[in-house]
Amino acid sequence: MRNEKPRLKFIRPMVPAQILGPPISDDWLHEIKYDGFRTQVILDWAGARAFSRHGHDWSKRYWPTVQAAEMLPAKSFIIDGEMTALDADGKPNFHAMHSRMRWNAELLTFVAFDLLHLDGEDLRYMPLIERKDRLWDLVKPADGIIQYSVHVQGNGLAFFNAVEKMGLEGVVSKRSESLYRSGKTEAWVKAKCWEVGEFGLLGVRRAPGKPTVALVAREGKYAGSAILAANQSIREPILRSLEASRAKQPAGVPSAVVDGVQWVKPGFTARVRHLRGELKLRHATVESIRADEG
């Protein structure tokens, strides 16, 4: 006889707001920000499925996780988490995601961090700390394809500093009593770690009443802009040295950022502080500019 019971439906994810540093009060819990793809795993009477953050069915791509979900001790659930590609040392490797999704899906790891539904009970109105307790009971020992996102309560700054030293992308902080609300929320926030790197200088943009901005490239390709924030006594000698190195606009720079830019010839390197894990530079500042030797 056909089962007429409706299947569980994808729930639009709760999305953390971006902040520059983690909360420090004790009513927050903190987790590692795993660099991967947001994923929702659903089990009901007809089996398990895996969905992307926008609700697309990616069960075939994540088939080992789907199989592992069907082995968990429950009749139905909705788990929120991140699909990641972990290196041997346990660090996420986003660059390995696509190849593993295509060729080695069994090497992907689903890091579970929230439980929205369990055996007919909607848990979204339960405090987060209680949902995570129920999640641990469901996925433990959590040392296989499905793992558990461990958290610390309070001590946000110390946790953030430890994550930064490990070379990870950042921290997600969540109010321990928060309910699950779809969409962007300030009850969950994310703070990314900072990174310092060297970039080729493409040009400098100056406009009255606005910060001086350097346009930079990574391996010859436009990477974004960074504020040249040094004080005037340092900044002006740098700008004067660039005056003698005028050049034409390089290829590959978006037209939206070219107005008012003084382009410079190759041979200058900018040391830039920026948020880790972004394709384009964000919240970036130039620490120094040097003329390359030779």
Residues classed as catalytic: 33
3-state SS, residue 75: coil
Q: Is the peptide bond before 141 cis (omega within 30 degrees of 0)?
A: yes
Amino acid at 89: D
- Other Cβ atoms less than 10 A from the Cβ of 75: the count is 11
Contact 288, 281 (CB under 8 A): no
Which letter, b or e, does each residue of 174-208 get, where b requires 16 or more Cβ atoms within 10 Å of its Cβ? bbbebebeeeebebbbbbbbebeeebbbbbbbeee
- Other Cβ atoms less than 10 A from the Cβ of 108: the count is 23
3-state SS, residue 48: strand
- Strand pairing of 121-122 and 268-275? unpaired
CA 45-49-52 angle, to 5 degrees, is: 145
Contact 156, 30 (CB under 8 A): yes
